[in-house]
Amino acid sequence: MNLTNNKPLFTHSKYTPCQEIFQAVCDELGKYYEKRSFKYSRSRPKITYSDNVLKLEISFWSSRSNTPGEWVLLEILPAFYSKQIAKMSKTKGFLFGHTGLFYHKYSADPKQIKVKHIFGEEEERIDQDSTESLIINSNACNIYGLDEYKFRKLTEFINTQIIGWIDKLKVSEGILEFISHPSQTRIWALDSQHGNSEFVAYVKLNFPNIEIEKVLYQ
């Protein structure tokens, strides 16, 4: 994988504005995914995939707390939508976002947390305020000094942790994988009674043999 001739990525210094570096990385991701059936929006950076069943938007955010020469935040925020539900109701057919994807059950100790970072690092910690043990696939990273290895890790994260669900959400096996032993955080993200998710309605419409409410709330 070769990065394009993207000047801010290769000639930046500690004086380069963080916004320039953030925009350069978003542009690079946009070029990469435009070759893979996505559309790229540059003004509010995001990539969008759409077919007859689903729409996926992956937005790229940064932070006002970036530090020139040290830290430029990239936060990756996916949102899945059902086009069927959107046509049938007044809602946008929102299924779930990052809280539905990146938080997984871990251990019996509710205070034990494992964080898997995009560039490969992992950390274990004890969170005294936690009420649920989780494995968290972190969706944020520092893109200052991004090189080809880190860019590849970025695309691997997007491809495996997000885009891979496009096909899985269209088959019963994928739905069962998604809802099997869900973390409480995932259940909350999919709960239409306390949020704006239409995931339960989507499963009832397309997979009537799956007792979605029984599986989620048992």
**CA–CA separation, 144 vs 67, rounded Å?**
9
User: Does 21 reside within a domain?
Assistant: yes
pLDDT of residue 90: 77
Q: What are the DSSP E strand ranges found in 42-196?
A: 46-50, 54-61, 73-82, 94-96, 103-105, 112-116, 122-126, 134-137, 140-142
Question: Residue 204 sits in which domain range?
Answer: 7-217
User: Does 122 reside within a domain?
Assistant: yes
User: Does 87 reside within a domain?
Assistant: yes
User: Does 203 reside within a domain?
Assistant: yes
User: Does 2 reside within a domain?
Assistant: no
pTM of the model: 0.93
User: Does 119 reside within a domain?
Assistant: yes
User: Does 1 reside within a domain?
Assistant: no
User: Does 37 reside within a domain?
Assistant: yes
Do 163 and 94 form a contact (C-beta atoms < 8 A)?
Answer: no
Residues 118-172 have pLDDT tens digits of: 998 999 999 999 999 999 999 999 999 999 999 999 999 999 999 999 999 999 9
**CA–CA separation, 107 vs 213, rounded Å?**
24
Average per-residue pLDDT for the chain: 92
Per the structure, the count of domains in the chain is 1
